[in-house]
Amino acid sequence: MLRILPGALEEGQMKREKKRVHAQGAKWRKLDNTAKLFAAVAGEDFGQVFRISAALEDEVSPELLKQALDTTLPEFENFRVKLRKGFFWNYFETNNRDPVVEHEETYPCKFIDPHVSGRFPFRVSFYGRRINFEVFHGLTDGLGALNFMKYLTERYLELAAGEQYKKERESGEGQAGLSGGKRHAPGEAKEAADRTPPAGRGHAAFSGQRTRQEADRRIRERAVSADSYLTYYRERPHKRYETERALAVTGDCLPLDWQSVLHGTVALDDIRALGKHAGVSITKYLAAALLWSVIQVYTDGRTLKRPAALNLPINLRTFFESDTMANFFSVVNISWPAGPAPRDFEELLGHVSRQMDEKIVKDKLEETISYNVSNEKKWYVRIIPLWIKNIALSAIFFKTSRAYTMTLSNLGPVALREDLAGMVRGFQLLLGVSGRQRMKCGVIACNGKLCITFNSAMEDMDLQDYFFRFLREKGVEAELESNGVADREHDQGNYPSVSHDRGKLKKIVNLFYLALLTAAALMGITNYAAYGCLNRGWSLLVMGGIAYAAMTVRYSVMRRANIAGILVRQSLGAQALLVLIDYMYGMKGWSVNYAIPCLILFDVIAIVFLILLNRLNWQSYFMYQIAITVFSFIPLFLWWGGLITKPLLSVIVVILSVAVLAGTVILGDWSIKKELKRRFYF
């Protein structure tokens, strides 16, 4: 029996939507231990994004998908957030914008820009018969994303089934069934109709269903903000991550930002039987098969100069009592060491199985939690400003990532409701690639089928071909499907043909930066050649203008940043340029006496206008207002150092900026305290 009235939104969810507070950022929460790392390292070249897709039997309706998303998001309030920067740590705050549904037009797992698409850390898109849910790993892990995607898919299928039922009633075709779009035999017509109640039937059952959903939602909301890493942290001796450089996937890379996708779908019973015969689990068998393929493709098969290693994510909820929807996973290094290669697959399989049995136990996983959380708890780490933390965490992350050849993630089976399962062909898991790991493998099962997906930035398909050929030799045949980038043979038209991609724009911008750098170098050479030295350094002025142009493109055009942030950055750049011009013409003092104070005064007034124009989200400008107030004191220090000879304007600017800041604090009342608390928590 379908659990929602055909084509209708749930009444309780609509009421919650009406009651929602419309002020942005009304609530906030700290990032979990793993999310802090992902937020530090994520960027255009390393998005930390993964995708879960549902391949349906019928074409996706964008209108129904939007309705499904609108009814799903209230059930997962922890996903209704945006990522913000504090002084010491990043944090999430509530985001009451409406998410959009996009038509897929580019390659999967692209960086989710925190300043576009409503500022949500996830992306819902569709193409043909496929629904995609892409999510920033800082928001949740594989299990949390899978729960959201499963709920979204079921809501969509309910709406689609309702639309189909409505059309059939209007056309008089009452005998068409709703399971997978199949027709029922005449004797089954009444039963099919009973499973799909019209608008006035089955309301009591639906009310009971809604009550259960409300209870489930409250449970999820209680669990959402729990950082289970802190909950299960125990101060104990811990073991550091592996840092020995592992064997790398090598070869020619695809053009900038291109990605090659290859799905291999096998019968779940076949792969389970293969593992059972060998006495191992599916994950153990696939990990060994992947390592075996890596060794055979990227070595001579006899000697390994570096270890071949897999990064294997482990769901910690299996070992600890946790219902958190935030990240709660660990990773283990499963590898074959440098030196002699395994004699045969069975030797490698035994080695992999023993490693997993030794490492994937509660005691070892507690050591990992201890190591991760202990670093976060150190007081001297907590008080380091965020921008310094980002640099340090990025260096540490990329150093440890060298210890893995590639990642293998198995999310396990997806259990859809029986009345909806026939409308789904299967699920797919895609992991975003990086400069170090140019190929990753995701595994997920649904409806008796296991989908093994390789996402790659490499031109060749040697590893994928060997892997699926190996399975075929073991008696497991895979149905292949690609996105047509590196493998046109198995392209079924289920991915867009990308004619324009943001990567092209990024390439153009990089060429622009190169042109600016070349121009600056030529100016310096010309200046030196004309005067024999740089005493008459007119080229410095040109270089300053070039640097300002580059800064404008990088931080104001490409970043799509907060308008107040753009204002502050542009103002600082302009001030530096004005001082340089003044210096080039004999340092008359007009830049520090008049120009810089005037720019700061403009910033103060502009921020006030921004606050008045966007009163529901005025807190987003408050930190920039503090920064401008701090900057306003710089001319006073210059006056104290004797560089400013006419300080009147500088004094006026300081008084005004402090007064405006004080007025904001007084009028903001408790909101200011909350804003300061989340911005400066450590």
| Contact between 398 and 40 (Cβ < 8 Å) | no
Is residue 242 assigned to a domain?
no
Distance set, CA 67 to CA 147, 311, 502, 616 (Å):
18, 37, 28, 26
Asked whether residue 337 is assigned to any structural domain, the reply reads yes
DSSP-assigned beta bridge partners for residue 409: 442
Secondary structure, 3-state, 187-228: HHHHHHHHHCCCCCCCHHHHHHHHHHHHHHHHHHHHHHCCCH
**Cα angle vertex 51, ends 104, 151, to 5°?**
95
Express each pLDDT in 44-76 by its tens digit: 777 889 999 999 999 999 999 999 999 999 999
Whether residue 633 is found in the same domain as residue 549: yes
Which residue shows structure tokens 């391949």? 55
Question: Is residue 252 scored above 70 in pLDDT?
Answer: yes
Report the DSSP pairing between strands 81-85 and 49-56: unpaired
Q: Are residues 437 and 522 in the same domain?
A: no
Q: Do 273 and 212 lie in a common domain?
A: no
3-state helix, strand, coil in the chain (%, to 5): 50, 15, 30
Does residue 69 sit in the same domain as residue 161? yes
Does residue 215 share a domain with residue 327? no
* Cα separations in angstroms, 263 against 20, 456, 468: 41, 11, 10
Instruction: Give per-residue pLDDT as tens, 125-173.
Output: 999 999 999 999 999 999 999 999 999 999 999 999 887 767 667 666 5
Task: Please give the Cα distance from 188 to 176 (Å, whole number).
Answer: 10
pLDDT digits (tens, 9 = 90+) for 585-604: 777 778 888 888 888 888 88
Q: Which residues contact 510 (CB under 8 A, 6 or more apart)?
A: none
pLDDT at 24 over 60: no
Are 530 and 620 part of one and the same domain? yes
Compute the chain's Rg from CA coordinates.
Answer: 29
Model pLDDT for residues 602-631, shown as the tens digit of each residue: 888 888 887 777 766 677 677 788 888 888
Which of 144-158, 342-356, 414-428, 656-670 is the least confident region?
656-670
Is 565 domain-assigned? yes
Residue 470, domain member (yes or no): yes
Structure tokens at 625: 């207002």
Q: Is the pLDDT of residue 191 over 50?
A: no
Residues 54 and 118 both lie in one domain: yes
Q: Please report, to the nearest 10 degrees, the dihedral formed by the alpha carbons of residues 103, 107, 113, 115 taken in order.
A: -30
Residue in this structure with the two tokens 């997806």, named with its chain if needed? 414
pLDDT, position 505 = 58
Percent of the chain with pLDDT over 90: 39
Question: What is the domain count for the chain?
Answer: 3
* 564 burial type by CB count under 10 A (0-12 exposed, 13-18 middle, 19+ buried): buried
- The reply to whether 206 and 314 lie within a common domain is no
Reply yes or no on whether the pLDDT at 501 is more than 90: no
Are residues 162 and 113 part of one domain?
yes
First to last CA, the chain: 50
Assess if residue 494 is contained within a domain.
no
How, if at all, do strands 406-414 and 329-336 pair?
A: unpaired
Show the domain range for 667. 502-679
Considering the domain boundaries, does residue 294 fall inside one? Answer: yes
Looking at residue 175, its pLDDT comes to 46
* SS3 (DSSP) at 181: coil
Residue 620: other Cβ atoms inside 10 A: 20
Poorest-confidence range of 111-115, 278-282, 443-447, 483-487? Answer: 111-115
Same domain, 596 and 665: yes
Instruction: Tell me which of 321 and 283 has the higher pLDDT.
Output: 283
> Rounded CA gap, 332 and 410, in Å?
13
Mean of the pLDDT values across residues 449-474? Answer: 95
Task: Answer whether 0.85 is exceeded by the pTM.
Answer: no
Tokens read off for 171: 């056309």
Give the model confidence (pLDDT) of 642-679 as tens digits: 777 888 888 888 898 899 888 877 776 667 777 778 88
Same domain as 290, residue 146? no
319 domain residue, yes or no: yes
CATH number of 304's domain: 3.30.559.30
Residue 523 has pLDDT above 70, yes or no: no
Res 5 pLDDT > 50: no
- Does 198 share its domain with 296? no
Q: CATH number of the domain that 202 lies in? A: 3.30.559.10
3-state SS, residue 660: helix
At residue 400, the pLDDT reads 85
Amino acid of residue 236: R
Last residue of a domain, one of 211, 231, 251: 231
Q: Do residues 28 and 92 touch, judged by C-beta distance below 8 A?
A: yes
654 is a domain residue: yes
Q: What is the pLDDT of residue 464?
A: 96
- Residue 469: pLDDT band by 50, 70, 90 thresholds? very high
Percentage of the chain surpassing pLDDT 70?
77
Count of other CB atoms within 10 angstroms of residue 322: 19
Other Cβ atoms less than 10 A from the Cβ of 297: the count is 18
State the pLDDT at residue 608: 82
Q: Which one is predicted more confidently, 410 or 238?
A: 410
Compute the average pLDDT of residues 455-467: 94
